Structure 1
């Protein structure tokens, strides 16, 4: 994401739930733990200005992944 959060508590732009976003910490943002398919990354970049929460990432990845 181009607009990484500098604050630890972040509001998801998709669902508005709070989550911890720490891209500059030793452990990195929770989203770094996901394997985000290119089409999902493109969708996020086109529709949101910042990171999404783990629940929204999971939902989008699952929707894009064939069974």
Structure 2
């Protein structure tokens, strides 16, 4: 089994533990995103984002759906 990985958020450069092999325990699983929100975020950023950035981007997209990220 692969171990969890320490990665840097491509948006804020903060490091966090990515638990891709235990996604239900990963910090990102606490941020519910719609398919459209996932698509918009993935257009701008590659790789995993920290939960704080996901929450911020979700808030932007909920209030301004066409806003640049």
What do you get for the CA RMSD once the two structures are aligned? 2.0
**How many residues end up aligned between the 2 structures?**
61
Structure with the bigger percentage of helix: 2
Give the TM-score normalised by the residue count of structure 2: 0.71
Give the TM-score normalised by the residue count of structure 1: 0.72
Q: Which has the higher contact order (CA 8 A, sep 6+)?
A: 1
Flag structure 1 segments of 5+ consecutive residues without an equivalent.
1-5
| 4+ runs deviating over 3 angstroms | none
Larger Rg belongs to: 2
Flag structure 2 segments of 5+ consecutive residues without an equivalent.
64-69
